[in-house]
């Protein structure tokens, strides 16, 4: 309240000074005489009213100004040209091509992207070979793709709701099945509420700007995914970075932020820690209990992206909160992907009622996009039911992951940064030189702490791998595996657009739809392909 | 439109050996509305005949109609009986019962039965006619003044309530105040508008619904015991005329050829393709759909993404970046702003659809170059929308192409609302103006609207599309579109285009009007380009129903637009636009308008929008016309607006003596729309 009266004071001062100017300008407006008479007579009766009306005018002007970005014309850099000169400049100007042609390597890689004919699943038929392959590339972690019960429910929903919702949630796009799925997700995780977005990728990049505004502080992991980077970028908040999956580094950064704030005596702003449950970039897993402890200690809010851990870890697939037995309420904004975790489409953010309601008005891709098709929402709800009632699915998945790691961990020309329980397994090439060098450099570097303002890891300068060569080698591995009937994929990156360039890797996606035998067989093929291709290298 | 024109393809004319009993019966139904039961039986018999004739057509794969076994066929075109008996709202049964010749293949509540060929128009630009700029018609001064005063009162009272509330009920403000060392998620100042203005109108927003968002929609009734802080569902439902969904061509249907195809695809391909396009989520359906979209919009290649919003927000950054300039219409959609902000390009805006403002801006930016350094821009990308969703303005494409020749910028047209909805072939603004689509660099659009699906596309030349496939954000990271959605797109799009050589010629193919396709629109889809299992019923595959949908939409749009103007309302937008905004101005009238439309005997649901989605004074209601609406539905809307408009004092458009009486408008609908 005190703040509101102080903020009004300068407003009144401004009002008084601009009153006379306003009056002059006002007299020139058409129809102003009428209004003037009206104002004058009303002023005689009730001077307070005039002030109220003026506030209104100012409000109107302010909104008008806000809606436009002002032209730069007034800038001191403006050069005056004659019309003829402008015409010449226009004639001279030649733009770069809009979409440059792909390089030969990119083109070849695009052509090699596997295309599935018919349904995707553990053994899809591929368009390129016409044969089936064992699939360790697609996200079908819990084998929900192809589930007949889900398909039947989807058809029933289709017959009741049609396909598209034909409207954003605010304008008759909220179906009862959307509300049901939101409740199902919230109940499944144990949060107060949840909100559904119509695309997994766009979820986190809408959740972040809904809460984090200019001036707010974000402390984020250096290894976060591309989508989170985009969300942080659009939020325009102040960002500080901590070392990838290193909670000690996180504490250091939080300390330094707090010190900075105390020094500047800045106001209390919103502060967020943003990280992932299982990292898309490398499959590492965050230590959630410790993270929660830190977040409470420093009074930060936690935005946790569980895109790859929801529906894949925990006894019934509830994600990290189930795995570590942490109540999901302790995560302020828990973001997950319905598309990845439940083999449907869309994404969600679970949290308290306030957090969810706030996004219903402020989440850009929630407000300005059509809601997802009803049958996909029902499929996801059914997926949750299945996970809830069949914990053996998750057991099988974990067994398969263990079986795969047992084979891969013995291969010495590769390194696997992924957590042993991660359903995505990243395989990157171990540089022959750095095998011995790496521990040493790691031992040396703590002397020089990384710069929290830069998203680059501190050892970025020592990265010596040749991205292009490694991409090529790994693509050879992919093709070699495919020739043996196993479909795998590299982790595709947007080279040149990523904030931190990840080391090239192959990303395996485990599935409970394969038996342990099948998994072992497929992973052995991958291993042999790796050994064969990487062995040739030397 | 002469009365002797061919009958509506939505009404299959089948010269079949009609049982005489049926004939007698249906001639009785020609009299004013008979009992629901007779209507039901007439329809179900007619439907059965239609099905029989369909199954007779030789097909290579099992007929799809067999697959829709969940419901009995009589349910296909009519509702369940309880709904019929209760036709008090006038929504369940058509105003005119079908004659014995007419068999409707759509469910009336989803897609209205309208056989009168007089109520059809072609959506096409008249050559030589100037494209109207966005004209804002001002209301009388007292309206403006009262609008400002309304906001003033709202703001003052809001602040007073905050002031008092914080003292007497601090509890309800705790979430807006710093607490235990946490800054509030939303401070009281940031959320003032939401709390004090929007909450008052919350009954107009986020109404939960169920069923198909077609011609009508089922509302889940709700009440608020505490001034809109919480909404409680009462468990009852109300069927309302839906003039709000973006269902331009009426493809939001749970029955019919497209839905049958979707069902088939779910059984064949499941509900998900499990991954991103570049990493194991591509399916042959994607390839098929992308090729079809490219053909539909007349471009070399196209790509499909699983969300319309992301099609803008994730692909614009792949084309422009630092050192580039994006010129954006001031009223562009949030997704475009999102994308340009992510791209890191410099952004300038010009006045809405104003070619003068655009040209002077172009001259300035090209001559000045990049800020400070004055280096020339790497590229300039102009991003505009084909049809603006809040204004109904039609893009001045000829004007822009004129400028494009001289100023060499690249052009990105967001056809979210115009694809399917405009043009004699439904192929968007280029089609409407008869312009070769290849003169535009990028055509972007969404499937959420006209196609009753979800997601979006980008079409352009192959080099650029391949560039986007590899360098766009969604290629490696975004989930791929799911098979049911892809199938809905393929089926609805193919039925707009018509399929060349659809299996074997069927009995109805004689009724096909030859399509006069200009070279830029390569005409019907090829059967061989579609999935082999896709088997659309003849009225869809011949393209007849698609054409009828386009022509119904064009008629309904013009009729509603002209009708509202003749009633004396202030509207925005182009008459060909299916988006018809009606200006309300006063914020208080929004809720009233919404409620008065919803509480009528035939409930009508509308979308009301106000600041910040529109400028402060121009609060409006936005109608979205659909091909699913019958002429009588538009009559209903016009009548309702007429009455509500009188009560709320909304008629500030043309002068009183130029206005028409509602009966005159309704009776001369065809002439009115055709002028
Ligand atoms: C111009 C424009 N572009 C993009 C979109 C987003 O489309 P979608 O709802 O499919 O995400 C919309 C939707 O309202 C729109 O109006």
* A22 interfaces chain B, CB cutoff of 8 Å: no
Of A200-204, A271-275, B105-109, minimum mean pLDDT range: B105-109
How far is residue B198's CA from residue A27's CA, in Å, rounded to a whole number? Answer: 34
For ligand 1, the distance from its centroid to the CA atom of residue B288, given in whole angstroms, is 23
- Integer-rounded Cα radius of gyration of chain A: 28
**% of chain B beyond a pLDDT of 90:** 55
pLDDT at A492: 92
Q: In what order do the strands lie in the sheet with A193-197?
A: A193-197, A347-351, A333-337, A301-305, A271-276, A217-221, A238-242
Same domain, A288 and A377: yes
How far is residue B333's CA from residue B444's CA, in Å, rounded to a whole number? Answer: 13
- Phi, psi values for residue A469, rounded to 5°: -65, -40
| pLDDT band at residue A90 under the 50/70/90 scheme | confident
Render pLDDT for A303-349 as a digit per residue (tens, 0 to 9): 999 999 999 999 999 999 999 999 999 999 999 999 999 999 999 99
How far is residue B464's CA from residue B442's CA, in Å, rounded to a whole number? Answer: 9
* A110 interfaces chain B, CB cutoff of 8 Å: yes
Give domain status of residue A461, yes or no. yes
Same domain, A272 and A349: yes
Same domain, B188 and B306: no
Same domain, A520 and A489: yes
Query: Of the candidates B499, B534, B563, which is a domain's last residue?
Result: B499
Give domain status of residue B420, yes or no. yes
How far is residue A498's CA from residue A492's CA, in Å, rounded to a whole number? Answer: 11
* Residue ID of nearest Cα to ligand 1 atom 7: B308
pLDDT at A457: 81
Q: What is the CATH number of the domain that holds B449?
A: 3.40.640.10
How far is residue B643's CA from residue B278's CA, in Å, rounded to a whole number? Answer: 56
Range of the domain at B162: 143-192
Residues in Cβ contact with A522 at an 8 Å cutoff, skipping those fewer than 6 apart = A134, A136, A486, A514
Residues in Cβ contact with A487 at an 8 Å cutoff, skipping those fewer than 6 apart = A114, A124, A126, A133, A134, A135, A136, A137, A138, A481, B280
Same domain, A383 and A398: no
β-bridge pairing B604-605 and B232-242: parallel
Mean pLDDT of chain B: 83
Same domain, B288 and B409: yes
For ligand 1, the distance from its centroid to the CA atom of residue A198, given in whole angstroms, is 12
User: Pocket of ligand 1, candidates B340, B416, B443: which has the most ligand atoms within 8 Å of its Cβ, to mutate?
Assistant: B416
Same domain, A376 and A431: no
Same domain, B284 and B164: no
Looking at ligand 1, which atom is closest to the CA of residue B455? Answer: 10
Q: According to the 3-state scheme, what is the secondary structure of B359-399?
A: HHHHHHHHHHCCCCCCCCCCCEEEEEECECCCCCCECCHHH
| pLDDT band at residue B642 under the 50/70/90 scheme | very high
Question: Nearest chain B Cα to A212, which residue?
Answer: B185
Averaged pLDDT, B423-450: 93
For ligand 1, the distance from its centroid to the CA atom of residue B331, given in whole angstroms, is 13
For ligand 1, the distance from its centroid to the CA atom of residue B416, given in whole angstroms, is 6
Give domain status of residue B182, yes or no. yes
pLDDT at A4: 47
Averaged pLDDT, B441-468: 94
Listed by number, the residues of chain A in 426-485 with a beta carbon closer than 8 Å to a beta carbon of chain B are: none
For ligand 1, the distance from its centroid to the CA atom of residue A68, given in whole angstroms, is 22
- What Cα–Cα distance (Å) separates residue B433 from each residue in B60, B425, B543, B656? 40, 11, 22, 34
pLDDT at A27: 66
Q: What is the CATH number of the domain that holds A472?
A: 3.90.1150.10
How open is the CA angle B456-B462-B466, to the nearest 5 degrees?
Answer: 70
Chain B residues touching A379 at Cβ < 8 A: 271-272
Largest Cα span, chain A: 95
Chain B residues touching A497 at Cβ < 8 A: 317-318, 471, 473
Same domain, A460 and A384: no
Which of A318-337 are b and which e, b meaning 16 or more Cβ less than 10 Å from the residue's Cβ? Answer: bbbbbbbeeebebbbbbbbb
* A341 interfaces chain B, CB cutoff of 8 Å: no
Quick check: A115 and B284 CB within 8 A? yes
Same domain, A185 and A282: yes
Render pLDDT for B378-394 as a digit per residue (tens, 0 to 9): 999 999 999 998 999 99
| pLDDT band at residue B171 under the 50/70/90 scheme | confident
Sign of CA dihedral B163, B165, B170, B175: negative
Q: Which residue has the tokens 């172009």?
A: B362
Nearest to A145 among B270, B374, B617 (CB): B270
Mean pLDDT of chain A: 86
Residue B432's nearest CA partner among B409, B398, B460, B399 is: B398
Q: Which residues pair with B303 in a beta bridge?
A: B458
Same domain, B344 and B426: yes
Query: Of the candidates B451, B480, B499, which is a domain's last residue?
Result: B499
How far is residue B190's CA from residue A213's CA, in Å, rounded to a whole number? Answer: 11
Chain B residues touching A198 at Cβ < 8 A: 307, 309, 454
Give domain status of residue A30, yes or no. no
How far is residue B474's CA from residue B314's CA, in Å, rounded to a whole number? Answer: 7
Question: Nearest chain A Cα to B532, which residue?
Answer: A118
DSSP classification of residue B276: B
Same domain, B168 and B279: no
Same domain, A533 and A398: yes
Domain count, chain B: 2
Quick check: B205 and A57 CB within 8 A? no
Looking at ligand 1, which atom is closest to the CA of residue B336? Answer: 3
* B151 interfaces chain A, CB cutoff of 8 Å: yes
Which of B403-415 are b and which e, b meaning 16 or more Cβ less than 10 Å from the residue's Cβ? Answer: bbeebbbbbbbbb
Same domain, B179 and B272: no
* A233 interfaces chain B, CB cutoff of 8 Å: yes
Give domain status of residue B334, yes or no. yes
Give domain status of residue B553, yes or no. no
Domain count, chain A: 2
Same domain, B288 and B174: no
Nearest to B308 among A100, A361, A369 (CB): A369
Q: B490 near B531, Cβ under 8 Å?
A: yes
Averaged pLDDT, B534-550: 90
Listed by number, the residues of chain B in 476-515 with a beta carbon closer than 8 Å to a beta carbon of chain A are: 476-479, 482-485, 488
| pLDDT band at residue B33 under the 50/70/90 scheme | very low
Q: B636 near B114, Cβ under 8 Å?
A: no
Residues in Cβ contact with A37 at an 8 Å cutoff, skipping those fewer than 6 apart = none
- Phi, psi values for residue A354, rounded to 5°: -60, -45
pLDDT at B28: 36
Chain A residues touching B207 at Cβ < 8 A: 172, 174
Same domain, B337 and B446: yes
Range of the domain at A511: 104-144+392-537
Give domain status of residue A65, yes or no. no
Helix then strand then coil, % of chain A, to nearest 5: 50, 10, 35
Render pLDDT for A209-248 as a digit per residue (tens, 0 to 9): 999 988 899 999 999 999 999 999 999 899 999 999 999 9
How far is residue B391's CA from residue B429's CA, in Å, rounded to a whole number? Answer: 16
Same domain, A209 and A270: yes
| pLDDT band at residue B97 under the 50/70/90 scheme | confident
Averaged pLDDT, A80-109: 87
* A122 interfaces chain B, CB cutoff of 8 Å: no
Render pLDDT for A402-444 as a digit per residue (tens, 0 to 9): 999 999 999 888 999 999 999 999 999 987 654 444 444 444 4
Same domain, B165 and B275: no
* Residue ID of nearest Cα to ligand 1 atom 3: B416
Same domain, B374 and B457: yes
Q: Which residues pair with B609 in a beta bridge?
A: B620
How far is residue B544's CA from residue A50's CA, in Å, rounded to a whole number? Answer: 64
Give domain status of residue B569, yes or no. no
ipTM, 2 decimals? 0.86
Give domain status of residue A13, yes or no. no
Give domain status of residue A59, yes or no. no
Q: B286 near A136, Cβ under 8 Å?
A: no
Residue B306's nearest CA partner among A148, A373, A275, A516 is: A373
- Other C-beta atoms lying within 10 Å of the C-beta of residue A61: 12
Chain B residues touching A179 at Cβ < 8 A: 208
Q: What is the CATH number of the domain that holds A232?
A: 3.40.640.10
β-bridge pairing B607-609 and B619-624: antiparallel
Give domain status of residue B547, yes or no. no
- Phi, psi values for residue B624, rounded to 5°: -120, 105
Sign of CA dihedral B351, B357, B358, B363: negative
Query: Of the candidates B499, B532, B562, which is a domain's last residue?
Result: B499
Give domain status of residue A152, yes or no. yes
Query: For residue A105, what are its two tokens?
Result: 């390597």
**% of chain A beyond a pLDDT of 70:** 85
| pLDDT band at residue A49 under the 50/70/90 scheme | low
Cis ω for the linkage preceding B474 (within 30 of 0) = no
Give domain status of residue B158, yes or no. yes
Same domain, A191 and A121: no
How far is residue B240's CA from residue B242's CA, in Å, rounded to a whole number? Answer: 6
Give domain status of residue B126, yes or no. no
Same domain, B350 and B458: yes
Same domain, B185 and B261: no
- Asked if residue B639 has pLDDT above 90, the reply is yes
| pLDDT band at residue B470 under the 50/70/90 scheme | very high
Same domain, A263 and A409: no
Residues in Cβ contact with A84 at an 8 Å cutoff, skipping those fewer than 6 apart = none
- As separate numbers, helices (DSSP H) first and strands (DSSP E) second, chain B gives 21, 19
Same domain, A285 and A298: yes
Give domain status of residue A75, yes or no. no
- Other C-beta atoms lying within 10 Å of the C-beta of residue B417: 27
Higher-confidence position of B521 and B372:
B372
Quick check: A98 and B263 CB within 8 A? no
What residues line ligand 1, using a CB cutoff of 6 Å?
Answer: A 368-370; B 307-309, 312, 333, 335, 385, 389, 414, 416-417, 446, 448, 456
Q: B116 near B554, Cβ under 8 Å?
A: no
pLDDT at A527: 94
């Amino acid at each position: 309240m005190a703040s509101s009266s102080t903020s009004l004071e300068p407003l009144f001062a401004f009002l008084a000074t601009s009153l006379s100017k306003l009056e002059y300008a006002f007299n020139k407006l058409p129809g102003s005489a009428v209004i003037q008479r009206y104002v004058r007579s009303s002023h005689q009766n009730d001077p307070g009213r005039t002030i109220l009306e003026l506030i209104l005018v100012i409000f109107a002007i302010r909104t008008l100004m806000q809606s436009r970005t002002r032209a730069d014309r007034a800038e001191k850099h403006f050069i005056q040209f004659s019309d003829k000169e402008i015409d010449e400049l226009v004639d001279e100007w030649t733009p770069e091509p809009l979409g440059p042609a792909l390089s030969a390597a990119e083109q070849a890689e695009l052509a090699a992207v596997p295309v599935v004919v018919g349904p995707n699943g553990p053994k899809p038929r591929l368009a390129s070979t016409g044969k089936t392959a064992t699939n360790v590339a697609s996200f079908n972690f819990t084998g929900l793709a192809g589930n007949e019960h889900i398909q039947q429910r989807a058809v029933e929903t289709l017959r009741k709701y049609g396909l598209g919702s034909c409207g954003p949630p605010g304008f008759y796009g909220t179906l009862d099945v959307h509300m049901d799925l939101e409740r199902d997700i919230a109940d499944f995780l144990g949060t107060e509420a949840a909100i559904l977005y119509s695309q997994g990728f766009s979820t986190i990049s809408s959740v972040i700007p809904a809460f984090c505004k200019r001036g707010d502080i974000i402390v984020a992991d250096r290894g976060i995914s591309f989508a989170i980077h985009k969300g942080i970028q659009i939020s325009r908040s102040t960002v500080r970075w901590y070392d990838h999956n290193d909670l000690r580094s996180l504490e250091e950064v939080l300390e330094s932020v707090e010190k900075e704030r105390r020094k500047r005596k800045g106001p209390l702003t919103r502060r967020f820690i943003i990280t992932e449950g299982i990292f898309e970039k490398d499959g590492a897993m965050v230590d959630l209990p410790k993270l929660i402890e830190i977040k409470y200690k420093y009074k930060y809010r936690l935005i946790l992206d569980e895109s790859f851990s929801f529906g894949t870890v925990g006894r019934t697939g509830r994600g990290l909160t189930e795995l570590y037995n942490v109540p999901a309420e302790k995560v302020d904004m828990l973001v997950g992907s319905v598309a990845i975790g439940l083999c449907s489409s869309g994404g969600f953010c679970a949290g308290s009622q306030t957090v969810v309601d706030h996004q219903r008005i402020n989440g850009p891709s929630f407000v300005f996009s059509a809601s997802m098709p009803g049958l996909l929402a029902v499929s996801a709800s059914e997926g949750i039911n299945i996970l809830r009632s069949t914990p053996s699915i998750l057991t099988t998945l974990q067994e398969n992951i263990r079986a795969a790691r047992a084979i891969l961990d013995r291969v010495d020309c590769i390194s696997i940064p992924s957590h042993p329980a991660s359903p995505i397994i990243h395989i990157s090439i171990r540089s022959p030189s750095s095998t011995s060098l790496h521990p040493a450099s790691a031992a040396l570097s703590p002397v020089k702490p990384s710069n929290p303002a830069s998203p680059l890891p501190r050892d970025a300068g020592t990265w010596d791998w040749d991205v292009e060569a490694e991409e090529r080698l790994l693509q050879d591995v992919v093709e070699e595996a495919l020739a043996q009937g196993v479909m795998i994929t590299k982790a595709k990156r947007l080279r040149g657009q990523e904030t931190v360039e990840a080391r090239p890797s192959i990303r395996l996606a485990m599935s409970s739809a394969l038996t342990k035998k099948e998994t072992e067989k497929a992973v052995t093929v991958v291993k042999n392909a790796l050994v064969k291709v990487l062995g040739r290298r030397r | 439109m002469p009365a002797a024109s061919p009958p509506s393809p939505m009404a299959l004319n089948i010269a079949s050996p009609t049982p005489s009993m049926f004939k007698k019966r249906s001639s009785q139904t020609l009299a004013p509305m008979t009992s629901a039961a007779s209507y039901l039986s007439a329809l179900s018999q007619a439907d059965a005949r239609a099905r029989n004739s369909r199954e007779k057509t030789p097909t290579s794969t099992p007929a799809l109609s067999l697959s829709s076994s969940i419901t009995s066929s009589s349910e296909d075109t009519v509702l369940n009986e309880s709904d019929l008996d209760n036709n008090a709202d006038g929504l369940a049964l058509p105003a005119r019962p079908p004659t014995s010749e007419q068999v409707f293949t759509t469910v009336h509540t989803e897609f209205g039965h309208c056989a009168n060929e007089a109520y059809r128009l072609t959506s096409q630009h008249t050559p030589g006619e100037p494209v109207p700029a966005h004209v804002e018609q001002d209301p009388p001064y007292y309206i403006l003044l009262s609008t400002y005063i309304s906001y003033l009162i709202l703001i003052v009272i809001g602040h007073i309530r905050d002031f008092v509330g914080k003292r007497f009920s601090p509890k309800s403000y705790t979430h807006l105040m710093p607490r235990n060392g946490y800054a509030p998620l939303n401070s009281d100042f940031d959320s003032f508008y939401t709390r004090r203005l929007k909450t008052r109108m919350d009954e107009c927003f986020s109404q939960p619904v169920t069923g198909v968002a077609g011609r009508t929609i089922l509302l889940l009734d709700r009440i608020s015991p505490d001034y809109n802080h919480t909404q409680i569902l009462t468990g009852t439902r109300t069927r309302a005329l839906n003039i709000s969904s973006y269902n331009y061509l009426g493809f939001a249907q749970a029955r019919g050829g497209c839905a049958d195809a979707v069902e088939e695809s779910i059984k064949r391909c499941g509900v998900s393709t499990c991954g991103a396009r570049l990493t194991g989520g591509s399916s042959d359906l994607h390839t098929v759909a992308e090729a079809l979209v490219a053909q539909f919009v007349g471009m070399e290649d196209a790509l499909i993404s699983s969300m319309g919003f992301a099609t803008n927000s994730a692909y614009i950054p792949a084309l422009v970046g630092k050192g580039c300039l994006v010129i954006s219409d001031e009223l562009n959609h949030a997704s475009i702003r999102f994308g340009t902000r992510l791209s890191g390009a410099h952004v300038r805006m010009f006045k809405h659809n104003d070619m003068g403002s655009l040209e002077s801006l172009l001259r300035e930016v090209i001559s000045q170059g990049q800020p400070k350094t004055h280096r020339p821009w790497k590229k300039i990308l102009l991003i505009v929308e084909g049809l603006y969703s809040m204004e109904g303005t039609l893009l001045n494409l000829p004007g822009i192409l004129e400028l494009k020749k001289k100023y060499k910028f690249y052009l990105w047209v967001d056809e979210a609302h115009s694809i399917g909805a405009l043009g004699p072939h439904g192929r968007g603004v280029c089609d409407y103006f008869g312009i070769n689509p290849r003169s535009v660099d990028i055509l972007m659009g969404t499937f959420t609207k006209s196609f009753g699906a979800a997601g979006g596309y980008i079409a352009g030349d192959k080099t650029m599309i391949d560039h986007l496939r590899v360098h766009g954000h969604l290629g490696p990271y975004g989930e791929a579109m799911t098979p049911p959605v892809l199938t809905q797109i393929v089926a609805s799009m193919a039925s707009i285009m018509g399929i060349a050589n659809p299996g074997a010629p069927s009995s109805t193919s004689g009724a096909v009007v030859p399509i006069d396709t200009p070279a830029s629109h390569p005409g019907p889809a090829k059967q061989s380009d579609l999935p082999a299992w896709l088997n659309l019923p003849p009225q869809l595959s011949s393209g007849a129903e698609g054409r009828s949908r386009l022509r119904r939409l064009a008629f309904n749009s013009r009729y509603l637009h002209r009708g509202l103007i003749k009633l004396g309302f202030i509207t925005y937008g182009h008459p060909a636009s299916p988006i018809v905004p009606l200006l309300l101005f006063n914020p208080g009238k929004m809720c009233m308008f919404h409620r008065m439309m919803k509480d009528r005997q035939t409930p009508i649901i509308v979308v009301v929008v106000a600041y910040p989605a529109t400028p402060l004074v121009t609060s409006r209601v936005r109608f979205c016309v659909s091909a699913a609406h019958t002429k009588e539905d538009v009559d209903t809307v016009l009548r309702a607006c007429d009455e509500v408009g009188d009560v709320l004092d909304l008629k500030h458009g043309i002068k009183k003596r130029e206005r028409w009486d509602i009966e005159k408008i309704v009776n001369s609908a065809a002439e009115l729309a055709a002028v």
